[in-house]
Amino acid sequence: NAGVMQNPRHLVRRRGQEARLRCSPMKGHSHVYWYRQLPEEGLKFMVYLQKENIIDESGMPKERFSAEFPKEGPSILRIQQVVRGDSAAYFCASSPPGGYGYTFGSGTRLTVV
Amino acid sequence: SQELEQSPQSLIVQEGKNLTINCTSSKTLYGLYWYKQKYGEGLIFLMMLQKGGEEKSHEKITAKLDEKKQQSSLHITASQPSHAGIYLCGADAGNNRKLIWGLGTSLAVNP
C-alpha cells in the first residue's frame, strides 16, 4: 500500500521555464492538498482539490500557478515562468473521502536558477 | 505573525531526558496534528487530536489538547537519538480542511 507519491523529488528550472509537480494520492484517498514550505516561513496551504474539482485555492498565487486533479492520473501543480522566489519544497497530502488524517508525500524540492 | 506558535524553536537534550514541545493558537482548533520531519524528507504523521482534553500516546510520545482546544503539547519520555528531527504542529482552524502550521521545533538528542 504505497503512500502519497510525489515526483520528481528534486527539480531544477531556469528562470522563465515551467515546473510541473506530480502527486499520486494514497489508494482510496480522493482529496488532495498542496502545501509550500519556504525557509523560515513554515508550511503554507496552497490548494485543496477533489477529482476534477478545485475546492479551495485561496492559498494559490494569483498568477503563474495552477493545479488540477483529473479523473485519471495524478494531481499536477504547474508553475509557469518560474522565478527565484518559487524555490521551495512543495508537499502534497491526501485524505480519505469524508474523513480526516492527512498523509504527506516526501515533497518536491524546486530550485530555480 | 504565525497563526500557530510553537515553542521552543529548538531543543538539545541528552539521551534519556524528557522533553515537551508546545503549540498555541489564539483560535479554537477543530483538529490538531503533530508531524515529524527529517531534513530533506516528508512529514511523518504522529498523532491527531480533536476533542478538548484529549490525550494520546504512542510508544514514548504523548500529545495533549487542552479543554479550550487552543493549546497542545507533545511530550517525549526518555528521549533517544531516533527522536531527533523537526516537530511540526498543524491545525484546522476553520473546519475547512485547510491546515495552518507552526514553524517547527528542531530537536537534537545527544547520545
Query: Is B1 part of the contact surface with chain A (CB cutoff 8 Å)?
Result: no
pLDDT tier, A1 (very low <50, low <70, confident <90, very high otherwise) = low
pLDDT tier, B2 (very low <50, low <70, confident <90, very high otherwise) = low
Give tens-digit pLDDT for A44-102: 999 999 999 999 999 999 999 999 999 999 999 999 999 999 999 999 999 988 767 89
pLDDT confidence of residue A99: 66
pLDDT tier, B55 (very low <50, low <70, confident <90, very high otherwise) = very high
pLDDT exceeds cutoff 80 at B49:
yes
pLDDT confidence of residue B1: 57
Contact state of B97 with A104 under an 8 Å Cβ cutoff:
no
pLDDT tier, B47 (very low <50, low <70, confident <90, very high otherwise) = very high
Max CA pair span of chain B:
42
Distance CA(B45)–CA(B39), nearest Å, equals: 15
Supply B88's cell numbers: 511540526
Which of chain A's residues have a Cβ under 8 Å away from the Cβ of B105? none
Closest Cβ opposite residue A107 in set B42, B88, B99: B42
pLDDT confidence of residue B95: 66
Supply B48's cell numbers: 491527531
Which of chain A's residues have a Cβ under 8 Å away from the Cβ of B40? 109
Min distance A18 CA to chain B CA atoms (Å) = 23
Closest to B42 in 3D by CA, of B85, B3, B97, B103: B85
pLDDT exceeds cutoff 90 at B96:
no
Supply A33's cell numbers: 492538498
Answer with the residue of higher pLDDT: A8 or B98.
A8
The answer to whether A16 and A80 are in contact (CB under 8 A) is no
pLDDT confidence of residue B39: 78
**B10 φ, ψ to 5°?**
-145, 160
Mean pLDDT (whole number) for B23-35: 91
